Structures are given as structure tokens and as C-alpha cells.
């Protein structure tokens, strides 16, 4: 049972009809993950600057209502955030740009990289970003993005870059040819407590591949910081768990358990978004089961949205 309260910046909003939302405001909200599911609470208040002052926060805060502050505006489909040691942060835009934003300074965001190979195709594009656990010594930043091969085949990859002099350079591919499509690309990447990199992938609109343990689609992958299979992986490849539709969030609780948020079906029958407790080598059922359904050898979601839609993002 997950009871951890996490503070995160939510920067990826999916509509029920998968259309692109341009130029929306990046806000800070408090995410509460409770027994009943994932509940997002936020309160907007008038602001005249990028960051509210301590006096403003004290006047408007209460024990029950979290306060949010605008730290940047006019971003184009921001998708993921990585916090730097000085509390500034990097933000990916799905079209391929990476921005440096410092909420402690009254300054405009700085464009630090344009990932030329990233292609914004439907839900795909430049997605996840994460710092290496030893970032302060090696300056490594990891990115997940969608690209096309020969202008036709849609794929995803994870690359490693170096952050130096407020620029990202020296791109190196560490995991390549993850199946992609206009939808269901996954894209969340995070380093776990074990020091390995976890990579969430989607089924690339080919549900049967989620059950194929030799495919990188519809999986949570676990790799070393150079992209090799992590020691102890259950199938002697990159795969950590399988049977996923489109994992969007990864997070570890205080006991070291890995949880994942996952998009359920969309369209007229939308719903059944899931919260799953991830265990090594386990099968999470897609496309054979979803929601509360059960089947031998498959894991049933700990919580699901039923006939409503959460469209959960990060966790």
C-alpha cells in the first residue's frame, strides 16, 4: 500500500482526445498518492511575478490547501523535469527543446539544447529526462525521445549527454530501437535506489508485443548507466517487467518498492488507468487483463480508475 506523499512538477497533460495543447503554464502542485488512488490537489492564486514571496505564501497557505506558484510560462508541451543541485531545473519540450529554468532568479528560461533527431509524432517526441546519480562529478544527463528511421519506421531511444557551461552536448545512444508509434511510447526514465536506470516503454500500439519478453515494447527496462542489462534481470536481457500498455510514471516508496502509473484504454471506452506495484519478472497482464481482471500468472493492478480517466503522468 502506497502512502508516500511526493512533491512534483506536473508538466505533461494528456487530453482524452490526444490533441496537442500549446503554450500552457507550468505549475507546481502537490501529488498525494493514497489508498484510494492518485489524487491531485492544487490551488491557483493571483501572481505578479514568477515566484511568490515568502510573505505571500504565508498569507495564502493553510494546513489543507497547497499553494502553487507560476515559475515559467509559454512552454510548448513540456513533458519532464530534472532538478539540478542548485534547485534550478531542466525541462523537456516534446518538440525537441531542453530549457534551463531557475525559479530563484527573475530571468527568462535558457534554451540549452535542441535535440535534432527527436520527432514530435502524436504523443511521441522528446519525453523523459533524468540526471545521473553522480551528476555532480560526471555531469551526465539522460533523455528519452522518439525518432524515425529512414523517414518511416518510428522508434524510441535513450541517450546520454553532458551538461557543461549551461549546454547539453556529446550525445551518446545507450538504448536504441525501442518500438514507437504515434501513441503509446512510454518515455519515463528514472534511476532507482539500486543505481540502475529504469526505462518505461509503451506497446507502440501493438498490444501483443507487451507479452513478448524479447521485445522492448510494453515493458519496464532496467539497465546500467551505459545501457547494458542490469545484473539480476530476469530474462537475461533489458526487461525488468512486462505486460504493460503505456507506463507514464515511476516512483519508489520509503520501503524501496517500485510503483508505476499506466495509461488505460482511450476513446469511447476510456478508463482503467492503473497504479501497479512493480516486481521483478512479473507480468502485468496487458492486453489479456486490465483493471480488476485476474488471470493466472498475471498481476492485477493495485488501483484502477474504472470507467473514469485519470490519465496519470509522473509519479
| pLDDT single digits (tens) 36-63 | 333 333 333 333 233 333 444 444 455 6
In a domain, 156, yes or no: yes
Residue 29: per-residue pLDDT: 34
Mean per-residue pLDDT, 178-184: 97
Residue 63: per-residue pLDDT: 64
Q: Which of 172, 165, 123, 170 is nearest to 146 (CA)?
A: 123
In a domain, 55, yes or no: no
**Predicted confidence (pLDDT) at residue 33 exceeds the cutoff of 60:** no
Of residues 132, 184, 244, 263, which has the active-site annotation? 184
In a domain, 214, yes or no: yes
Evaluate whether 249 touches 213 at the Cβ level (below 8 Å).
no
- Between CA 123 and CA 175 the distance in angstroms is 20
Residue 49: per-residue pLDDT: 32
Cell digits for 206?
A: 501493438
Evaluate whether 175 touches 240 at the Cβ level (below 8 Å).
no
Task: For the chain, give the percent of residues with pLDDT over 70.
Answer: 80
In a domain, 19, yes or no: no
Residue 64: per-residue pLDDT: 72
**Residue 199 is part of a domain; what is its CATH number?**
2.120.10.30
How would residue 157 be classed by pLDDT, with cut points 50, 70 and 90? Answer: very high
Residue 2: per-residue pLDDT: 43
**Predicted confidence (pLDDT) at residue 234 exceeds the cutoff of 90:** yes
In a domain, 98, yes or no: yes
Lowest model confidence (mean pLDDT) among 130-144, 212-226, 264-278: 264-278
Angle at 283 between CA 299 and CA 145, to 5 degrees: 120
Q: Which domain holds residue 133?
A: 78-256
Provide the number of structural domains found in the chain: 1
pLDDT greater at residue 131 or residue 40: 131
Residues 6+ apart with CB under 8 A from 172: 159, 160, 161
Instruction: Kindly report the pTM of this predicted structure.
Output: 0.80
- Between CA 243 and CA 211 the distance in angstroms is 5
| Order of strands across the sheet that contains 189-191 | 189-191, 197-200, 219-223, 239-242
- Between CA 217 and CA 201 the distance in angstroms is 6
In a domain, 26, yes or no: no
Evaluate whether 242 touches 284 at the Cβ level (below 8 Å).
yes
Residue 32: per-residue pLDDT: 34
Q: Which 3 state secondary structure label does DSSP give 210? A: helix
Is 132 known to be catalytic?
no
In a domain, 198, yes or no: yes
Mean per-residue pLDDT, 274-288: 98
Residue 9: per-residue pLDDT: 38
Give the position of cell 509522473: 314
Mean per-residue pLDDT, 232-259: 98
In a domain, 43, yes or no: no
pLDDT in tens, 73-129: 889 999 999 999 999 999 999 999 999 999 887 778 999 999 999 999 999 999 999
Q: Which 3 state secondary structure label does DSSP give 315? A: coil
Amino acid at each position: 500500500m502506497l502512502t508516500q506523499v511526493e512533491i512534483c512538477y506536473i508538466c505533461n497533460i494528456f487530453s482524452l482526445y490526444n490533441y496537442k495543447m500549446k503554450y500552457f503554464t507550468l505549475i507546481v502542485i502537490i501529488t498525494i498518492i493514497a489508498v484510494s488512488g492518485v489524487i491531485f490537489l492544487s490551488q491557483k492564486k493571483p501572481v505578479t511575478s514568477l515566484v511568490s514571496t515568502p510573505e505571500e505564501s504565508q498569507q495564502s497557505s493553510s494546513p489543507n490547501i497547497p499553494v502553487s506558484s507560476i515559475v515559467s510560462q509559454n512552454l510548448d508541451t513540456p513533458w519532464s523535469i530534472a532538478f539540478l543541485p542548485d534547485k534550478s531545473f531542466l525541462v523537456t519540450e516534446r518538440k525537441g527543446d531542453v530549457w534551463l529554468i531557475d525559479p530563484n532568479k527573475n530571468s527568462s528560461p535558457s534554451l540549452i539544447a535542441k535535440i535534432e533527431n527527436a520527432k514530435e509524432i502524436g504523443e511521441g517526441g522528446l519525453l523523459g529526462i533524468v540526471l545521473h546519480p553522480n551528476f555532480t562529478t560526471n555531469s551526465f544527463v539522460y533523455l528519452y525521445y522518439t525518432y524515425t528511421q529512414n523517414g518511416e519506421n518510428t522508434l524510441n531511444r535513450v541517450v546520454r549527454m553532458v551538461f557543461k557551461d549551461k549546454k547539453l552536448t556529446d550525445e551518446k545512444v545507450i538504448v536504441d530501437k525501442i518500438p514507437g508509434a504515434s501513441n503509446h511510447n512510454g518515455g519515463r526514465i528514472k534511476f532507482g535506489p539500486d543505481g540502475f536506470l529504469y526505462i518505461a516503454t509503451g506497446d507502440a500500439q501493438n498490444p501483443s508485443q507487451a507479452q513478448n519478453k524479447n521485445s522492448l515494447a510494453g515493458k519496464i527496462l532496467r539497465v546500467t548507466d551505459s545501457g547494458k542489462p542490469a545484473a539480476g534481470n530476469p530474462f537475461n536481457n533489458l526487461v525488468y517487467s512486462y505486460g504493460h500498455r503505456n507506463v507514464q510514471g515511476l516512483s519508489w516508496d520509503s520501503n524501496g518498492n517500485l510503483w508505476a502509473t499506466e495509461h488505460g484504454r482511450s476513446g469511447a471506452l476510456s478508463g482503467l488507468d492503473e497504479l501497479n506495484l512493480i516486481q521483478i519478472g512479473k507480468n502485468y497482464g496487458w492486453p489479456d487483463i486490465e483493471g480488476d481482471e485476474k488471470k493466472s500468472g498475471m498481476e492485477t493492478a493495485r488501483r484502477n480508475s474504472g470507467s473514469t480517466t485519470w490519465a496519470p503522468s509522473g509519479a
